[in-house]
Amino acid sequence: MALCAVPPAPTFYTHTMRHLLFTLFFCLSFFAHAGIDPAVVKQLAAEESEDKIAAIRKLAQSAEPEAMTLLQELAAGTLKNDKGEEISINNRVRREIDGALAGLKLFDPDPVVRLKATREVAAKADASQAPMLAKALENERDPKIKGMLAEAHALATLKHADMNVRIAAAKVLAGSSDPNIKAVLKAQSEEANEAESLVRRAAFQAYLEVKDRMTFAETVGKIFSGLSLGSILLLAALGLAITYGVMGVINMAHGELLMIGAYATFAVQGVFRNYFPAQLDWYVLVAVPVAFFAAAGVGVLLERTVIRWLYGRPLETLLATWGLSLMLIQAARVIFGAQNVELANPSWMSGGLEILPSITLPLNRIVIIGFSLFVLVLVWALMNKTRLGMFVRAVTQNRPMAGCVGVPTARIDTVSFALGAGIAGLGGVALSQIANVGPDMGQGYIVDSFMVVVLGGVGQLAGAVWAALGLGIFSKFLESWAGAVVAKIVVLVFIIVFIQKRPQGLFALKGRFVES
């Protein structure tokens, strides 16, 4: 929009008419709208940057739609003065225009636009934006945006000349969970002079409230991260607890069964992308049974060809399964390549659930925790409510006696190994949604899985649950304090000391012949 599009003329008459036409054009364009001062519009063409900035701020505070149009044309270089010349702006003025345009979006009818604009303004709110923020706060009806506007307005008035205004701003900011606001409040409490002890006290009290809220949020976040890690460890350790409890096999290839489940998920994703792209969001659900049977099939192959000949020789089993793990890793490299493969989260697992202003729980991890609990319930029902589960428990407690009463121990060994491998494959499905999928991915979980089994008690589902979740949460708190490496060492030392005092783990098997 041009303030004047009339070409310059040399005569006094033409010059006078040009100004009259400009005034008439301006009146028709802007005077019909309250809040737009013609003097402010004319000030945009001032020579001094300070005058232009003052005009821009007044336009921003007017909150009129025409103000946004004017500023957009000023930024684009299409706005002209009464001489028909383009109004030039420097970088300082351009930054002021950008801030004003962001502020004017606070009055947009679309709540999504207002929310985005509120975040932009709140990140760099200053005293010059206080009137505009106050007007936006008065007009806003969305509770979430209104709360953000209140914080932004409080930040903008925290340096106000009136001490009472600063105290009120500090009280508003006390309800925040933003680390930037915490830093601002701390600085304010230190900057206020002795004559403003009430301001300093209010700012410091607000700082403490924000700090406590952030500490609580960090604690909740660590617990959630620990539960997420524990759920993965649980899926990895459940299968290991079954195979180790039934057969006494130290399966060092168990981590590679996780890897097989993850690669099975990747393969299913590829099928959906090629043949069912419209249903790609549901590939994870189809991958669950595929991963289970793929890992279970590999487990049966390992048990039938190698492991069944090494029962009763744990050291040889350990060395043999370690060799098998290397073979599986190399096979994955040959088939899928040495680089990590990409798996996308479905839309219903993307994003997060905001439970506090500073706490957003990722949906993919929430789903994984729920999935782990679902698998746990199924395994519990299988072990306690079915004939197969009864046979597995019998072989775990006393293999010779179970064989004497007709339990097919060799078949139970195969089925148990397949079941344990399949559960590890389910762990791979879960892991594929939060971690890189590559040939070596299982190596990072095998030691932790054994620690869960030993700490919880061999063959005990309850022990595996408590040990997995406990180690997950304990590790996350230690990592924030001492780092991942030190945390791993501390956890290992703790388990060694614990097993020295209680060799049977958290939950011991009960039975007449357990110790025989």
Instruction: Work out the mean pLDDT of the chain and round it to a whole number.
Output: 80
What average pLDDT does range 465-472 have in this prediction?
86
Averaged over 447-466, what is the pLDDT? 79
pLDDT of 329 > 90? The answer is yes
Looking at residue 137, its amino acid is: L
> What confidence category does residue 514 fall into, taking pLDDT thresholds of 50, 70 and 90?
very low
DSSP 462-505: HHHHHHHHHHHHHHHHHHHHH-HHHHHHHHHHHHHHHHHH-TT-
Which range has the worst mean pLDDT, 21-25, 229-233, 239-243, 505-509? 21-25
The predicted pLDDT at position 326 comes to 92
Residue 8 has what pLDDT?
47
Which residues in 69-105 are b (16+ Cβ under 10 Å) and which e? ebbebbbeeebbbbeeeebebeeebeebbebbbbbbb
Specify the pLDDT at position 271.
93
d(CA 206, CA 177): 11
Mean pLDDT of 315-341: 90
Hey, what CATH topology would domain 215-501 get?
A: ABC transporter involved in vitamin B12 uptake, BtuC (1.10.3470)
| Per-residue pLDDT, 266 | 94
Work out the percent of the chain whose per-residue pLDDT is above 90: 16
d(CA 131, CA 118): 14
Q: In whole angstroms, what is the distance from residue 153 CA to residue 176 CA?
A: 13
Instruction: Count CB atoms within 10 A of the CB of residue 23.
Output: 15
Rounded to whole angstroms, the maximal C-alpha distance in the chain is 122
φ, ψ at 480 (rounded to 5°): -70, -20
What letter would DSSP give residue 432? H
Instruction: Tell me what the mean pLDDT of segment 433-458 comes to.
Output: 84
Lowest-pLDDT choice from 55-64, 150-159, 333-342, 476-485: 55-64
pLDDT of 245 higher than 80 = no
Sorted by where each begins, the domain ranges of the chain are 1-107, 215-501
Tens digits of per-residue pLDDT, 91-136? 888 888 877 787 777 887 888 888 888 887 777 777 777 877 888 8
405-423 average pLDDT score: 87
Write down the residue that tokens 């701390």 correspond to.
Answer: 186
Supply the pLDDT for residue 168.
Answer: 86
Q: What pLDDT, on a 0 to 100 scale, did the predictor assign at position 193?
A: 61
**pLDDT over 50 at 190, yes or no:** yes
Higher pLDDT, 187 or 293: 293
List Cβ neighbours of 24 (8 Å cut-off, separation of 6 or more). none
Question: Residue length, the chain?
Answer: 516
pLDDT for 195 equals 57
Q: Could you report the per-residue pLDDT of 249-260, keeping only the tens digit for each?
A: 788 888 899 999
Residue position matching structure tokens 């929430």? 366
- The string of pLDDT tens digits covering residues 39-80 is 877 788 787 888 888 888 777 777 676 777 778 788 877 777
What is the pLDDT, as a whole number, of residue 459? Answer: 60
